[in-house]
Amino acid sequence: MTTKEVSPKTGILMFYTLLIAYITFAASWVGGSNLGPQVVATFFGDKGVDPTISEMVNYTITIARVVANFLAAAVLVKLGIKKASQLAIGLLCFAMVAAWMPNYWFYIIARMIMALGGSMIMVYMNPVVVRFVSQDKKIFYSSFITASYNIGAFLIAVAFAFWADALRMDWRITLSGVALVAILSFVVWLIRAEDFETGGQGGAPSTYSYGMAIKDPFVWRFAIGFCAFLILYVMSLNSIPGQLAKEFPEIFQASYMILAVSGGGIMGTLVRLKSPVNRERKPYLVMLGVFAIATMAFGIVSVAVLKLPFLAYLSFFISGFLIFYQYAVYLNIPHELPNMNPQKATLMFGIIWGITYGLYTVLNFIWSWIYANMGYWASNLFYFLVPVIYLAMIMTLPETYKKK
């Protein structure tokens, strides 16, 4: 596909348009969760929804995100970056459609379509970074990509903290307001986005195909490590706080742990933005990974054994900081590989995210089974053994740091 030269200014605008769209996805997703009781009351009145159905919807949405990431790479190869991203943001705009659906099942379907678009957008930020961002600034932009979901979640959390009653008064208006930002992003993309060559250097076609990406040992090692990393991070914001609150209700508040981990994560991202990494990646990531796992474990021990919740929340904050301080460095490793180009980055990240979400779902299910059948400490042992796989996978990756 022949394309005209795109200016760096336009390329950076395209990146921030995709970034804002993904932040909107996060805000809409978290906002919808916060407004869950109001949504259910609208469609079901006092009857509510069977918890089994709710769980099935969650797993279905996770599967949709797995499919979206595999699909994103194929769509880019077929349509090019402009039309592929246009499709993704267009699907994200189903957030507005969902808000005005006449029944719960149509609402869920529209939200799944929205999730499909949001997951594709995450993949499409990477080829833009490869094409328009210099090597020394890639970690800076990778930090934005890794923080984008947290930013959206944080913004909606702040909004609910100050204006909860107003936002819950009419959930359709609230979710429509968030969806409006997605529609504005779509309009900006239509007006300003340009196609650019996603193949090799100098306009040469890329020799890296979809099949090669699936068979690439680096992709699998990186994705397995990434999945193990996400178990440590994501479960610290959903499964673990609820588990600790259930086991130690007299001393522990789940919301405080979520605030500590996410607050530490935001702080870690901000510090990372100002901290270049002029050193070998692998030993650096292993060191930070060991400390992140250790501080998370110490936090849980502080609750379960020492009965010192304040010390636990402090440990969770430090762990959240360390998790996000290394997150961008790890996610930037594919960008630092030799002969990287936008198409290769899209194929790699699409498959990486797809494998990662799929494996995460399986491991999360195993954790739930262990907790239900083998008890609290067995599930905790599993929770901390999985991130060790992340440390092991780092050691199998190529060292991408090049001394200047």
Read off the pLDDT of residues 162-177 as tens digits, 9 standing for 90 and up: 888 999 999 999 999 9
Distance CA 315, CA 260 (A): 9
288 and 143: one domain? no
Q: What is the pLDDT of residues 363-384, one digit of tens each?
A: 988 998 999 899 999 999 999 9
Mean pLDDT of 18-47: 86
- Please report whether residue 155 resides in a domain: yes
pLDDT bracket for residue 204 (50, 70, 90): very low
Residue 1 is assigned to a structural domain of this protein: no
Residues 6+ apart with CB under 8 A from 132: 6, 8, 11, 12, 14, 15
Going by C-alpha positions, the residue among 128, 139, 167 that lies closest to residue 27 is 167
Distance, CA of 98 to CA of 68 (rounded, Å):
19
Domain identity same for 138 and 279: no
**184 and 217 belong to one structural domain:** no
Q: What is the pLDDT of residue 1?
A: 45
Tell me the per-residue pLDDT of 54-97, one tens digit each, with 9 for 90 and over.
Answer: 555 566 667 777 888 888 878 887 888 999 999 999 999 999 99
Residue 271 CB partners (closer than 8 Å, separation 6+): 321, 325
Of the candidates 263, 200, 185, 252, which has an alpha carbon nearest to the alpha carbon of residue 20?
185
Whether residue 237 sits in one domain with residue 130: no
Task: Provide the CATH number for the domain around residue 128.
Answer: 1.20.1250.20
172 & 221 share domain: no
Distances (CA, A) of 94 to 14, 79, 177, 307: 21, 21, 13, 46
pLDDT at 268: 92
CA dihedral 227, 233, 234, 239 (to 10 degrees): 120
Residue 15 shares a structural domain with residue 92: yes
pLDDT at residue 365, as a whole number: 86
d(CA 223, CA 145): 17
Q: How far apart are CA 350 and CA 330, in angstroms?
A: 16
Among 63, 390, 58, smallest CA distance to 227 is for 390
Q: Which domain holds residue 301?
A: 212-396
| Rounded Cα–Cα distance for residues 341 and 6 (Å) | 15
Instruction: Please give the Cα distance from 404 to 324 (Å, whole number).
Output: 26
pLDDT at 18: 97
The dihedrals phi and psi of 201, each to the nearest 5 degrees, come to -65, 150
Q: Are residues 262 and 193 in the same domain?
A: no
Are 177 and 245 found together in one domain?
no
In a domain, 364, yes or no: yes
Taking the C-alpha atoms of residue 233 and residue 388, their distance in angstroms, rounded to an integer, is 13
- Work out how many domains the chain is built from and give that number: 2
Q: Same structural domain for residues 92 and 236?
A: no
Question: Average of pLDDT values for 129-136?
Answer: 87
Boundary (domain end) residue, out of 164, 198, 232: 198
Q: Would 282 be classed as within a structural domain?
A: yes
Q: What's the chain's average pLDDT?
A: 88
Is 276 or 244 the better-scoring residue by pLDDT?
244
Q: Is the residue at 293 inside a domain?
A: yes
What is the structure's pLDDT at 46?
73
Same domain, residue pair 60 and 121: yes
Sequence length of the chain is 404
Residue 204 lies in a domain: no
Q: Is the pLDDT of residue 51 over 60?
A: no
Domain contains 78: yes
- Judgement on whether residues 133 and 221 belong to the same structural domain of the protein: no
Same domain, 137 and 54: yes
The mean pLDDT value for 41-65 works out to 67
